[in-house]
Amino acid sequence: MFEAAELGKTLSKREYDKLQPRLQETLLEAHLEIKKAGLPVIIIISGVSGSGKAELLHRLNEWLDPRGVDTHAMWQESDEEEERPLYWRYWRRMPAKGRVGIFLGSWYTKPIVDRVYGRNKKRDPRDAMDRVRAMEEMLSNDGALIIKLWFHRSRASQKTNLKSLSRNPKKKWRVRPADWENFRRFDDFMRISEDALRHTDSGSAPWHVVDAFDRRYRELTSGQIILQSIQDRLKALPKREPVNLPPAFTVKVKGRGPDTILDAVDLRQRLNEREYEKLLKEHQAELSRLVWQSNKRGRSSVIVFEGWDAAGKGSAIRRVTGAMDPRLYQVIPVAAPTDEERAHHYLWRFWRNIPRDGKLVIFDRSWYGRVLVERVENFATPEEWQRAFLEINDFEEQLTEHQTMVTKFWLHISKDEQLRRFKERKATAAKRYKITEEDWRNRGRWDAYKLAVNEMVEHTSTGPAPWTLVAGNDKKFARIQILRTLCENLRRGL
């Protein structure tokens, strides 16, 4: 879930100085409406240590009306708190209706830290997350708006960060010994945090992972997320109170660095014919071996292909299946649902096609349609596609718990390359059937799809079922990347 926040985005001082006053102004207006509407707002700031969480807390106190804000830096439990059930300390700090409560450190901290350090083994740590979910659902049912921010830094940037802070005499105090101790367990922290986020990424209280590399970028992005969440909620309120919507102004925080995780894919990667033929042969041979082996061990696989129109899904799938015994696999092309499928929950058609032990199913498009085409084309309501992240993660968790190996590919190409291929198809009689009006329409919504793909990866690229972004401008390179990834995943899983 964190890959999309490892782009190291930055924002220039000039840009910041231009946007910041407008953001502040709109936030202040939004804050006024919160009071009028009697809306309790809970803002949770979490993430890796030393990533600027406390700085944001200060900033929010500048941006909002401090008379309406309660700030809670949750530190050690007091003895008053230790002598009561765990959640007492949070309940006593709950914001009243019309107030904003900002929590630095929250009900997430203790379960995550306990699990990293192997404390509190008595209870399944996932249990703690289910309690969190129940708690947030309860508050949300009661009308509270819950905004959850996760500040992320990559391992490398975190190391540089801690080192440079330690060297700076003025900032040295900010690094506690615990921060280095935590850094030694960085990978554990990430794995366990991801698990925690995944189980609490609900429609009513979704997570927002923020690239925390640069102060200006992360603060403005956080402010923008908070503003957007408040605006969305105010809009959805029943029209009892005379609440005015703050101006629909949204700050476009672009920042330097790749715009989305898709832009970070190096599309210049290519293979020449000779390399390609050689690697194809090698990888197909290995894949064939691995698929037989997983059959013998009774292990099943699910492989998902998603990607831009004309990105080469079909031909890539043929290179994959070319290496397999037809008795072992099945390809499920996913188009518009049948009548029967439409009469069921959207996941039903995919459950139908789950492989038996030892078999392999390739989905040519998949359940991710819910958060891609259905989202962009408004076939699903925001509420529906937002809660789909949790539903999909739960679905894939059930697969991986059953020891099914899950591999997911997004075939990425540039917008120019897509145009080139569309034109080529139009010109080639045999390929003309492959290009439709719809393809051109989808192309018109490229940016909306890009945003949706980015969020899809942010919310559903998980430890047990990660996404692989394929550099697809060169079909040969793409096919080899797919075969290689697949072999690696099977090898690791077996």
Does the protein bind its own copies through residue 241 (CB under 8 A)?
Answer: no
Size of the site for its own copies (CB under 8 A): 52
Does residue 84 bind its own copies (CB under 8 A)?
yes
CA–CA gap between residue 165 and residue 208 (Å, rounded): 26
Q: How far apart are the first and last CA of the chain?
A: 24
Contact 374/336 with Cβ under 8 angstroms? no
Strand 100-104: give its sheet, edge to edge.
69-73, 100-104, 41-47, 145-152, 207-211
- CA distance linking residue 406 with residue 393, whole number of Å: 12
Q: State the nearest-atom distance from the C-beta of 237 to its own copies, in Å.
A: 17
Question: Residue 113 or 354: which CB sits closer to its own copies?
Answer: 354
CB closer to its own copies, 132 vs 234 = 132
Of positions 10, 71, 88, 258, contacts its own copies by CB under 8 A: 88
- Contact characters 108-147, its own copies, x per CB under 8 A: ---------------xx-xx--xx--x---xx-xx-x---
Binder to its own copies among 252, 274, 356, 492 (CB under 8 A)?
356
Q: Is residue 354 close enough to count as binding its own copies by CB under 8 A? A: yes
CA angle 52–58–59, rounded 5-degree value: 85
Residue 401 makes contact with its own copies by CB under 8 A:
yes
Closest approach of Cβ 6 to its own copies, in Å?
29
Give the whole-angstrom CA distance, residue 158 versus residue 213: 8
Q: What is the largest CA-CA distance in the chain?
A: 78
Please pick, from the candidates 18, 318, 402, 432, the single residue that binds its own copies as defined by CB under 8 A: 402
Residue reference for tokens 């989808």? 442
Pairing of strands 329-333, 301-307: unpaired
Of 39, 73, 80, nearest in space to 58 by CA: 73
Which window, 178-186, 318-326, 400-408, 431-439, contacts its own copies (CB under 8 A)? 400-408
Smallest gap, in angstroms, from Cβ of residue 345 to its own copies? Answer: 5
The CB-of-347 to its own copies minimum distance in angstroms stands at 8
Nearby residues of 184 by Cβ (< 8 Å), 6 or more positions away? none
Residue 235: both structure tokens together: 């809009």
Which of helix, strand or coil describes residue 276? helix
Query: Which of the ranges 92-100, 165-173, 210-218, 411-419 carries the binding residues for its own copies, by CB under 8 A?
Result: 92-100
The residues that bridge with 361 in the sheet, in sequence order, are: 302, 330
Q: Which is nearer to its own copies, 99 or 421 (CB)?
A: 99
Only one of the segments 173-181, 182-190, 320-328, 343-351 lies at the binding site for its own copies (rule: CB under 8 A); that segment is 343-351
Where does this chain touch its own copies (CB under 8 A) — which range of 11-19, 26-34, 88-96, 288-296? Answer: 88-96
d(CA 77, CA 83): 10
What are the structure tokens assigned to 15, written together? 């840009």
What would you report as the CA-atom Rg of the chain, rounded to the nearest whole angstrom?
Answer: 24
For residue 398, state whether it binds its own copies (rule: CB under 8 A).
Answer: yes
Distance CA 6, CA 461 (A): 13
Tokens representing residue 171 in the block: 């900032």
Query: Which residue in the set 248, 336, 343, 427 belongs to the binding site for its own copies (CB under 8 A)?
Result: 343
State how far the Cα of 436 lies from the Cα of 424, in Å rounded to an integer. Answer: 13
> Is residue 94 part of the contact set for its own copies (CB under 8 A)?
yes
Nearest residue (CB) to its own copies, 50 versus 355: 355
Region 140-199 residues binding its own copies, contact defined as CB under 8 A? 141-142, 144
Question: Six-digit token pair at 2?
Answer: 């964190």
Q: Report if residue 36 touches its own copies, rule: CB under 8 A.
A: no
Is residue 22 part of the contact set for its own copies (CB under 8 A)? no
Kindly identify the residues of this chain, within the stretch 249-308, that bind its own copies according to CB under 8 A.
298, 300
Which of positions 39-78 make contact with its own copies (CB under 8 A)? 40
Selection from 170, 222, 209, 172 nearest residue 55 by Cα: 222
List interacting residues with its own copies (CB under 8 A): 38, 40, 80, 83-88, 91-92, 94, 96-98, 123-124, 126-127, 130-131, 134, 138-139, 141-142, 144, 298, 300, 340, 343-348, 351-352, 354-358, 387, 390-391, 394, 398-399, 401-402, 404
